[in-house]
């Protein structure tokens, strides 16, 4: 069972035809018509595997555990995820609540351009551990972390630009009618490597964790800060369903941290108190320079129909550039943009 999007759909359909298996592609939003819709389908159709985007998971988490536990999910064997870094809270909820701590959680990393999964906890040795993050390179994939001098970073507990050292069968060869753009986008920045555009961390055990897009790095008073790191810290607050962090121009710091926050349903705690707690959590978990300059509580975020957050729009809004948002035709709910602009202007008028 999977959401439908550009690359997943043909891969899923062709793969299931080859193995003569059934495939369920979801067109609706997770709570369409009834909360618990996904889990009702798992029970009714005896689904074995489910593959969702982190955004969908965070939306489902927002509704709480009740709508999950009321349905029988014993048919599930594998839980999958792809699309953007999955925060720890959502990972644990997916594994512990949805999967009853018994299903393998396969948090995969790949791109449309890579043609297939490149980093994933499975396949692996029998009974090998599964941790938060994609973890292990797939067969034939040689991931490397490179520094700003375009050199490979050796050892573990290191971070850098995620590149792949050698070609593999699924790799895109060009962009139709614009090969120069293909070379400039994927091959020019790190000659001899495929540049993914993502940052990654290789932990003490040699496992890979995606830290976010390299262009989602904020430079705060000389400190390079990954937005996913701040989001992960704030997502651990019990009242928070989802966050999106971007940078905005700051006269003193160069860039400031701006956090958009969606709260879980039924939260009664005052927003001012939650904001103060979020800032304190960020300072404790990361550092003082990572504390958001602005925290905006919002009912939603601008997302594409496949569930990806359009951070370009968020950056434009917090920078006060609402007249140059660019193309918004792929948004699932365009009305949220006006809501965000209005809330941002209300917030800034008070400062």
Chain segment 321-345, per-residue pLDDT in tens: 988 888 888 898 899 999 999 999 9
- How much is the pLDDT for 127? 86
In the block, which residue shows the tokens 């939603």?
300
> Is 96 inside a domain boundary?
yes
User: What gap in Å lies between CA 316 and CA 190, rounded to an integer?
Assistant: 29
Query: Does 230 share its domain with 324?
Result: yes
Cross-strand bridge partners of residue 152? 146
> Is 247 inside a domain boundary?
yes
Q: Which of 303, 263, 308 is nearest to 62 (CA)?
A: 263
- How much is the pLDDT for 236? 92
Query: Does 225 share its domain with 342?
Result: yes
Query: Does 318 share its domain with 262?
Result: yes
> Is 112 inside a domain boundary?
no
Q: Inform me whether the pLDDT recorded for 32 exceeds 80.
A: no
Determine whether 168 is exposed, middle or buried from the number of CB atoms within 10 Å of its CB (0-12, 13-18, 19+).
middle
Would you say the C-alpha torsion 19, 20, 21, 26 has a positive or negative sign?
Answer: positive
- How much is the pLDDT for 13? 58
Alpha-helix residue ranges (DSSP H) falling in 63-109: 66-69, 88-93
Residues for the chain: how many in total? 351
Residue 141: band (very low, low, confident or very high) from pLDDT cuts 50, 70, 90? very high
Query: Does 152 share its domain with 83?
Result: no
Query: Is the pTM higher than 0.75?
Result: no
Per-residue pLDDT of 162-172, as tens digits, reads 999 999 999 99
Which of 62, 88, 107 delimits the end of a domain? 107
Q: Which of 317, 320, 321 is nearest to 338 (CA)?
A: 317
User: What gap in Å lies between CA 288 and CA 65, rounded to an integer?
Assistant: 34
Per-residue pLDDT of 194-234, as tens digits, reads 999 999 999 999 999 998 888 778 889 888 888 888 999 99
Per-residue pLDDT of 36-71, as tens digits, reads 888 999 999 999 999 888 878 887 887 889 889 999
Which of 175, 208, 241 delimits the end of a domain? 208
Query: Does 161 share its domain with 46?
Result: no
Residue 259: band (very low, low, confident or very high) from pLDDT cuts 50, 70, 90? very high
Across the chain, what does the average pLDDT equal?
Answer: 88
User: CATH number, domain at 281?
Assistant: 3.30.300.30
> Is 53 inside a domain boundary?
yes
The count of structural domains within the chain is: 3
- How much is the pLDDT for 14? 58
In the block, which residue shows the tokens 């809270």?
89
Q: Inform me whether the pLDDT recorded for 151 exceeds 80.
A: yes
Distance, C-alpha 287 to centroid of its chain: 22
- Most distant CA pair in the chain, distance: 61
Percentage of residues of the chain with pLDDT beyond 90: 65
User: What gap in Å lies between CA 327 and CA 253, rounded to an integer?
Assistant: 30
Cross-strand bridge partners of residue 209? 201
Residue 349: band (very low, low, confident or very high) from pLDDT cuts 50, 70, 90? confident
Query: Does 240 share its domain with 331?
Result: yes
In the block, which residue shows the tokens 């359909």?
13
Residue 67, C-beta contacts closer than 8 angstroms, at least 6 positions apart: 35, 36, 39, 60
- E-assigned strands of the chain? 2-3, 25-26, 49-52, 78-81, 104-107, 143-146, 158-164, 194-202, 208-213, 217-220, 223-226, 240-250, 254-263, 294-297
Number of Cβ within a 10 Å radius of residue 323: 6
Determine whether 123 is exposed, middle or buried from the number of CB atoms within 10 Å of its CB (0-12, 13-18, 19+).
exposed
Check if the beta carbon of residue 301 is closer than 8 Å to that of residue 278.
no
> Is 120 inside a domain boundary?
no
User: What gap in Å lies between CA 253 and CA 260, rounded to an integer?
Assistant: 20
Query: Does 160 share its domain with 225?
Result: no
Query: Does 267 share its domain with 336?
Result: yes
Query: Does 99 share its domain with 182?
Result: no
Residue range(s) defining the domain that contains residue 258: 221-350
Q: Inform me whether the pLDDT recorded for 243 exceeds 80.
A: yes
Mean pLDDT, range 78-87, rounded to an integer: 88
Query: Does 166 share its domain with 246?
Result: no
Query: Does 180 share its domain with 92?
Result: no
User: What gap in Å lies between CA 248 and CA 227, rounded to an integer?
Assistant: 12
Per-residue pLDDT of 261-314, as tens digits, reads 999 988 999 999 999 999 999 999 999 999 999 999 999 999 987 778 899 999
In the block, which residue shows the tokens 């709570």?
31
Say whether 28 sits in a helix, a strand or coil.
coil
User: CATH number, domain at 74?
Assistant: 3.40.50.980
Query: Does 186 share its domain with 229?
Result: no
Which of 159, 176, 208 delimits the end of a domain? 208
Check if the beta carbon of residue 220 is closer than 8 Å to that of residue 255.
yes
> Is 47 inside a domain boundary?
yes
- How much is the pLDDT for 68? 93
Residue 126: band (very low, low, confident or very high) from pLDDT cuts 50, 70, 90? confident
The torsion defined by the Cα of 43, 300, 262 and 134, in degrees rounded to 10, comes to 60
User: What gap in Å lies between CA 85 and CA 133, rounded to an integer?
Assistant: 8
> Is 340 inside a domain boundary?
yes
- Say which range, 24-28, 158-162, 246-250, 259-263, has the weakest mean pLDDT: 24-28
> Is 117 inside a domain boundary?
no
Alpha-helix residue ranges (DSSP H) falling in 151-222: 179-186
Cross-strand bridge partners of residue 119? 109, 137
Mean pLDDT, range 93-99, rounded to an integer: 96
């Amino acid at each position: 069972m999977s959401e439908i999007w550009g690359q997943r759909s043909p891969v899923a359909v062709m793969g299931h035809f080859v193995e003569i298996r059934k495939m369920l592609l979801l067109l609706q939003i997770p709570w369409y018509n009834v909360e618990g819709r996904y889990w009702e389908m798992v029970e009714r159709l005896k689904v074995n595997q489910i593959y969702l985007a982190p955004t969908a998971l965070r939306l489902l988490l927002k509704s709480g555990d009740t709508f999950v536990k009321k349905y029988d999910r014993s048919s599930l064997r594998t839980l999958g995820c792809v699309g953007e870094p999955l925060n720890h809270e959502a990972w644990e909820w997916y594994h512990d609540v949805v999967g009853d701590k018994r299903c393998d959680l396969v948090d995969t990393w790949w791109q449309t351009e890579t043609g297939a999964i490149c980093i994933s906890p499975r396949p692996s040795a029998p009974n090998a551990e599964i941790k938060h993050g994609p973890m292990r390179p797939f067969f034939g994939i040689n991931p490397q972390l490179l520094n700003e001098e375009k050199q490979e970073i050796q050892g573990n507990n290191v971070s850098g630009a995620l590149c792949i050292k050698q070609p593999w069968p699924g790799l895109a060869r060009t962009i139709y009618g614009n090969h120069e753009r293909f070379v400039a986008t994927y091959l020019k920045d790190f000659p001899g490597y495929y540049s993914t555009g993502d940052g990654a961390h290789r932990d003490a055990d040699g496992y890979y964790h995606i830290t976010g897009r390299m262009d989602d790095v904020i430079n705060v008073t000389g400190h390079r800060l990954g937005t996913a790191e701040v989001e992960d810290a704030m997502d651990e607050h019990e009242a928070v369903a989802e966050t999106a962090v971007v940078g905005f121009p700051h006269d003193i710091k160069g860039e400031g941290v701006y956090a958009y926050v969606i709260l879980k349903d039924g939260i009664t705690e005052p927003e001012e108190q939650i904001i103060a707690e979020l800032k304190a959590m960020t300072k404790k978990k990361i550092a003082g320079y990572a504390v958001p300059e602005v925290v905006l509580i919002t009912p939603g975020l601008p997302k594409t129909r496949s569930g990806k957050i359009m951070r370009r729009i968020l950056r434009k809004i917090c920078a006060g550039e609402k007249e140059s948002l660019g193309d918004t035709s792929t948004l699932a709910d365009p009305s949220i943009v006006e809501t965000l602009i209005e809330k941002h202007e209300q917030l800034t008028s008070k400062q």
